[in-house]
Chain A
Amino acid sequence: MKTWPKTVAIAAFLLCFILVSQAQKRNIITVAELETLMNSNNDTVYVLNFWATWCKPCVAELPHFEKLNQDPATPRIKVILVTIDFSDIFESKVLPFLKKRGIRSDVLLLDEVDGNKWIDKVSPEWGGAIPATLVVANGRKINDFYGQAFETYEDLFQIVKPYIYN
């Protein structure tokens, strides 16, 4: 009888732990944290898409990024949607916006209003217009920047195709 609540408690804790670790990452990050992410050196190929809820061409291409992230043929690819929406509307506007559209990719909000502090860190080629996408891996040995929107899923798939197989 005494061990019952203890077992339940442990089971509940484990369940929570599993759920949290599977959860979509939704964080507000700094420029330093973005840099750490871009310098990641593991097997993952990150597709960082810079966007905002108010940017029409950005929103139009989100489904392509979601499809890429869900595609079972590309387990090595990880899409991260980096929004430059303002931080005070992250919970109230950005997350519901994505949920409504069935977007389950990780979303990070970069909390730095001064673009001059970080645009060049993503790519010196970038003039600051969104949407923009960075494909990055292996401590930036893979480092491809695209300052354009992706009209079709095929257009997006083409840029990661070289990296699907290790």
Chain B
Amino acid sequence: MNVNFHFLLSAFFLLETFVFPTGLQSQTAVKVGEVAPAFELMDISGKEISMNSYADAKGFIIIFTCNHCPFSVLYEDRINALHEKYASMGWPVIAINPNDPVQFPEDSFNAMKKRAKKKEFKFRYLFDESQETARAYGAERTPHAFVVKNDAARTVEYIGAIDDNPKSAGEVQIPYLENALNALDSGKAADPNFTKAIGCSIKWKSN
């Protein structure tokens, strides 16, 4: 009982004091090689989805993304294409919207459904209502990709950018995420396994 109380108190202070500086935020984030945080979130289809929802997946392409961010919009078709290519190989895309719909109504659950229908998303699009999943993964921007290997350990194997050119899909020179997936699919490690990209800030709830 005492241990739980002290843990909760520390967690409360950490969140209260350090919720702003993203440097400290990333210290609590999952790192490559660590166990991928579990989640169970509502999909736009109305189903609760977790990594256990997939019997045969070799791994998961988890992408924190949203409706409103222009960089997310630039990547929508590419995320769809990634799902179409890799899901059949055992690596489905699971998109997660981490944003507060109060600040950004364009990122509400209903708006997610509309967007998915309009752009014919083939992948799961989950709503991280409490934002706990985004915090556990250390999502720092949209879009932000995490590849998880679906073995007993369920480790994160890649964190970062989708590719090196948000502006133009046709002019991509380094498809960071695809390179990681191809390596992992052949039993190798992703290299690089960590990259950075520009994106929109996560819209954390106030209070």
- Taking Cβ atoms with an 8 Å cutoff, the residues of A that contact B are 54-55, 57, 84, 86, 113-117, 119-120, 125-131, 145-149
Q: Are A116 and B196 touching (Cβ within 8 A)? A: yes
Q: A1 CA to B84 CA in the complex, in Å?
A: 80
Number of B residues contacting the other chain (C-beta, 8 Å)? 28
Most A CB contacts (10 A, CB to CB) among B20, B23, B26, B168 go to B23
Instruction: Tell me, yes or no, whether B92 is within 8 Å of chain A by CB.
Output: no
Chain B, residue nearest A53 (CB): B70
Chain B, residue nearest A131 (CB): B201
Which residues in window 139-167 of B have CB below 8 A to A? 140-141, 144, 160-161, 164-167
Q: Are A129 and B22 touching (Cβ within 8 A)? A: yes
Instruction: Tell me, yes or no, whether B134 is within 8 Å of chain A by CB.
Output: no
Q: A76 CA to B152 CA in the complex, in Å?
A: 57
Q: A119 CA to B144 CA in the complex, in Å?
A: 14
Q: A125 CA to B195 CA in the complex, in Å?
A: 13
Q: A127 CA to B166 CA in the complex, in Å?
A: 16
Chain B, residue nearest A116 (CB): B195
Q: Are B160 and A129 touching (Cβ within 8 A)? A: no
Q: A62 CA to B20 CA in the complex, in Å?
A: 19
Q: Are B198 and A130 touching (Cβ within 8 A)? A: yes
